[in-house]
């Protein structure tokens, strides 16, 4: 039987190093929030097939977090990767929300996940909290190490994150427990501070380097390029609007305003005039900046993975960017 994880393209997928670390990632990466029941339930089989489809398409970088489905994303990712040699893929997880058992019952939809509320999240950016979070993540993943740890959404915990959590990550890196460290957020100001004031290898910037939100281009991306820090871009579709712009589509996890919907539709029409698609343009825009090492896409099925991979490989003509700039859309 052939290896279900064998890529359909080149025998060895293209890889890029994160900052000054030895950790390598593929230009297209798979995020795991969707396969952990983000908004709607996803079966074990669907999640497994999504990961295997990513492997077949040459994806070798997978991002997860305790937050996603109360640990379900980590467990499902670990199960799907278990048959493969550890050195053949890269895994990142996050710290900042520890999981504690809960008997409250009900579901976790208040936090966006259609899973039973078996645990509760506890914000913890202490040094001890970072280590405890990583230990629990390794157990759920069934791995003896992860390659990258990000501080996850320290927006309201900046003081403790810089004073305690980040030094703990540096210590883990110096001990060889992890290969690279960074922070992942939906804002650019604090990520820029991490780039300028610490020795992070990488930052994960979600929803702020897209066709509709150019805020990362002002300071974060130039600072990362200057400091030799890699950027992983998440949220290329701004949580849905750039994947399928229509009334009721989501933007930053809520219903898209009419003005942004109109803007997305105008970009879509321009892309189609140039023989490409909005999704391809959205991914290409994210990948184009020289500071960007990887674009992280979320998928809940093999079909969604294949669509993202197809769009990532789809040519986007330079004339489209010229038209978008001329129209004030980029």
Could you tell me if 77 and 141 are in contact, meaning their C-beta atoms sit under 8 angstroms apart? yes
Could you tell me if 287 and 221 are in contact, meaning their C-beta atoms sit under 8 angstroms apart? no
Residue 265 included in any domain? yes
Which residues carry out catalysis?
68
**What pLDDT score was predicted for residue 11?**
44
**What pLDDT score was predicted for residue 13?**
75
Residue 1 included in any domain? no
Q: Do the strands 250-251 and 254-255 form a parallel or antiparallel pair, or are they unpaired?
A: antiparallel
**What pLDDT score was predicted for residue 104?**
87
User: What is the distance between the alpha carbons of residues 45 and 25, in angstroms, rounded to a whole number?
Assistant: 25
Residues 6+ apart with CB under 8 A from 122: 97, 98, 99, 100
| pLDDT tops 90 at residue 185 | yes
User: What is the distance between the alpha carbons of residues 165 and 237, in angstroms, rounded to a whole number?
Assistant: 30
Residue 5 included in any domain? no
| pLDDT tops 50 at residue 3 | no
Tell me the pLDDT tens digit for each residue of 220-268. Answer: 999 999 999 999 999 999 989 999 999 999 999 889 999 999 999 999 9
Q: Residue-wise over 157-187: b if at least 16 C-beta within 10 A, else e? A: beebbbebbbebbeebbeeebbbbbbbbbbb
State the CATH number of the domain containing residue 68: 3.20.20.100
Residue 158 included in any domain? yes
Residue 300 included in any domain? yes
SS3 317: coil
Residue 164 included in any domain? yes
- As for how many domains the chain has, the answer is 1
- pTM for this structure? 0.94
Residues 6+ apart with CB under 8 A from 36: 42, 47, 68, 69, 72, 73, 76, 113, 115
**What pLDDT score was predicted for residue 12?**
61
| pLDDT tops 50 at residue 199 | yes
Residue 7 included in any domain? no
Tell me the pLDDT tens digit for each residue of 266-321. Answer: 999 999 999 999 999 999 999 999 999 999 999 999 999 999 999 999 999 999 99
Could you tell me if 274 and 319 are in contact, meaning their C-beta atoms sit under 8 angstroms apart? yes
For residues 187-203, give the mean pLDDT. 98
Q: How confident is the model at residue 151 (pLDDT cuts 50, 70, 90)?
A: very high
| pLDDT tops 70 at residue 193 | yes
Domain of residue 136: give its range. 16-326
Residue 188 included in any domain? yes
For residues 79-101, give the mean pLDDT. 97
Tell me the pLDDT tens digit for each residue of 94-149. Answer: 999 999 999 989 999 999 999 999 999 999 999 999 999 999 999 999 999 999 99
Spatial CA neighbour of 185 closest among 125, 227, 127: 125
The mean pLDDT value of the chain amounts to 95
| pLDDT tops 50 at residue 2 | no
User: What is the distance between the alpha carbons of residues 219 and 225, in angstroms, rounded to a whole number?
Assistant: 10
| pLDDT tops 60 at residue 41 | yes
């Amino acid at each position: 039987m052939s290896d279900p994880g064998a890529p359909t393209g080149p025998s060895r997928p293209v890889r890029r190093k994160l900052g000054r670390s030895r950790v390598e990632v593929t230009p297209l990466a798979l995020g795991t929030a969707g396969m952990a029941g983000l908004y709607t339930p996803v079966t074990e089989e669907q999640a497994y097939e999504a990961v295997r489809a990513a492997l077949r398409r040459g994806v070798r970088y997978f991002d997860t977090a305790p937050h996603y489905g109360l640990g379900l994303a980590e467990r499902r990712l670990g199960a799907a990767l278990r048959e493969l040699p550890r050195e053949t893929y890269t895994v990142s997880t996050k710290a900042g929300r520890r999981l504690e058992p809960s008997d409250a019952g009900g579901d976790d939809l208040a936090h966006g996940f259609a899973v039973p509320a078996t645990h509760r999240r506890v914000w913890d950016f202490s040094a001890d909290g970072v280590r405890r979070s990583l230990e629990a993540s390794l157990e759920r993943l069934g791995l003896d190490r992860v390659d990258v740890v990000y501080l996850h959404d320290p927006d309201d915990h900046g003081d403790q994150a810089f004073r305690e959590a980040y030094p703990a990550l540096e210590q883990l890196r110096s001990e060889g427990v992890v290969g690279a460290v960074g922070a992942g957020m939906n804002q650019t100001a604090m990520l820029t501070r991490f780039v300028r004031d610490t020795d992070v290898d990488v930052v994960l910037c979600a929803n702020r380097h897209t066709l509709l939100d150019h805020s990362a281009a002002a300071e974060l991306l130039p600072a990362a390029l200057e400091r030799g820090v890699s950027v992983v871009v998440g949220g290329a579709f701004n949580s849905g609007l750039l994947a399928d712009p229509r009334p009721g589509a989501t933007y930053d996890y809520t219903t898209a305003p009419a003005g942004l919907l109109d803007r997305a539709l105008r970009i879509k029409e321009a892309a189609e005039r140039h023989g490409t698609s909005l999704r391809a343009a959205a991914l290409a825009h994210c990948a184009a900046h020289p500071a960007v090492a990887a674009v992280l896409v979320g998928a809940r099925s093999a079909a969604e993975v294949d669509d993202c991979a197809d769009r990532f490989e789809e040519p986007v003509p330079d004339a489209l960017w010229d038209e978008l700039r001329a129209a004030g859309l980029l």
